[in-house]
Amino acid sequence: MIKWEQRFSVENVQIDGEHKHLIELLNIVHDLSIRAEDGEDIYDEMEVAIEGLRDYTVEHFRNEEEIFDRTDYMDKDVHKFQHKLFIKKIESIDLQKADNMQGEFLKKLTKELIDWVINHVLIVDKGYVDYINK
């Protein structure tokens, strides 16, 4: 479970809002993983949640790239590559693999996704703050 914090801010209302929504979607995945750990079968719900997360992430990255593409921000290509890798990561999630280890698998998966997003926002996204706010 993560909560948006002021330190995540990129000083842009639109992107901050999108990051908040992304966090909400990650928390849905997180909640499902906890229910899976409690032995509940959440396979179908998880499939929908991951799909929703993927679709929204694609949309968010597109919006973010559109905003920094208009600026002199120098790390555009590296940044876009990071985005691509994350989409690939989401797309490669194989829920079938979870099997009867569903809880454990999903817990690890959720942690990876959340860690990636926090890291990305705090380190990579912070790189364009000065450019988009010029």
What gap in Å lies between CA 43 and CA 37, rounded to an integer?
12
In whole angstroms, the minimum distance from the beta carbon of 48 to Fe ion comes to 24
In whole angstroms, the minimum distance from the beta carbon of 77 to Fe ion comes to 13
Q: Which is nearer to Fe ion, 97 or 133 (CB)?
A: 133
Q: Are 126 and 64 spatial neighbours (Cβ–Cβ below 8 Å)?
A: no
Residue number of the CB atom closest to Fe ion: 125
In whole angstroms, the minimum distance from the beta carbon of 104 to Fe ion comes to 29
Q: Which is nearer to Fe ion, 12 or 33 (CB)?
A: 12
**CA dihedral sign of residues 47, 85, 101, 108:** negative
Q: Which is nearer to Fe ion, 95 or 118 (CB)?
A: 118
Q: Which is nearer to Fe ion, 34 or 67 (CB)?
A: 67
Q: Are 103 and 42 spatial neighbours (Cβ–Cβ below 8 Å)?
A: no
Q: Does 125 bind Fe ion (CB under 5 A)?
A: yes
Q: Are 89 and 120 spatial neighbours (Cβ–Cβ below 8 Å)?
A: no
In whole angstroms, the minimum distance from the beta carbon of 15 to Fe ion comes to 8
- If one counts every other C-beta atom within 10 angstroms of the C-beta of residue 40, the result is 13
Positions that interact with Fe ion (CB under 5 A) = 125
